[in-house]
Structure 1
Amino acid sequence: MVLLFGDISFGTADIFSRFDYNVSRIEAIRGGSASTLTSNAPGGVLNIISKTGKKQGGAIGTTIGLDYDTFRTDFDYGTTIGNDLYVHLGGFYRVGEGIRSTGFTANNGGQFKISLLKEFENGYVRVYSKYLNDRTAAFLPMPLQVTGTNSDPDWDNAPNFDATNGSFAYNKFNPDCRFGSRW
């Protein structure tokens, strides 16, 4: 579980997770106790299952923003390193403004994760380690100008602000307060 409760202002569960090539699959548990044990799971719980290294091989991929400033490289590799002993490692690194115009490098950092798996006749032991140092801008709701009437509103950008591309991110804020997450 990423975040047990979801009633933190501007502290949503999605800002505390980073998905990359380490993810093998995502399982959803719907109903029952899954939806009653936490305020952040009214309909169910998602389990993010990481790769183990049992499947040999890996991948490298790069994402480049076509109409915005972003560059990200993801990688992973898994292999057998001994008798019933497997390793998987992977991560990502990114840099750029992000999906909105901030005027500075708002997204910068990445993560590295390693998993060791040892299988026995009646079970297994698995150990993970992850280093995460990723800073991203938190984009909150944007202001709009509404004119007209309740039955026929006219939605438009606020003066001197483009709600579809603008941002309130500011590079002079304290670095601990400027970004959505820093783990």
Structure 2
Amino acid sequence: MLRSFVPCLVLAASLVGSSAWAAEPAPAAFEPLLASIEQRLNIADQVALSKWDSKKAVEDRAREREVIAAAVLLAPQYKLEPAFVEQFFAAQIEANKLVQYGHLAEWRLAGAAPDTPRPDLVGQIRPQLDTLQKTLMEQLAAFAGYRNNAACPLWVAQASNSGERDELHRLALIRATGELCVTPH
């Protein structure tokens, strides 16, 4: 029985592999969106330092609600579905928190955070995130027509497994892009 199963696995793997090679390349709108998502995740490094210094909790539900509500209000302006925008920004926040929790755990084990400059959370970091939110809305609008493309999940998977990011940021990118594509059930 095992002997007949192995060729089936080889055939299935070759079919999956050939479909990956045959998939169309990601549209031009994908790369800038991905870069902005990664920029937001890199800002999480600074947020984590701020939380370490202030000893504040990572979870800030009031701020999270504000961010999501502001994005949802902008959705019609960008011809985006409010439910999708809500889901997308909730994913960004969860991914951001993943980075923060990961760094805080590392620093607790090390007994200290890195000795690097600390931008002010309210005065410097949040304005960056607010500006980036508008950029993300524009880029989401440009990418929206590709969300239903059958190759979209492959584009996202390839993107999360390429580049020079550490494992924490790779996992956070996977979370941040988890609902970017509409996949058939």
Which structure would you say has the larger Rg? 1
Output the TM-score relative to the length of structure 2.
0.30
Give 1 or 2: higher helix fraction: 2
If asked which structure has higher relative contact order (CA below 8 Å, sep 6+), I would say: 2
TM-score, normalized by length of structure 1?
0.30
Structure in which a larger fraction of residues adopt strand: 1
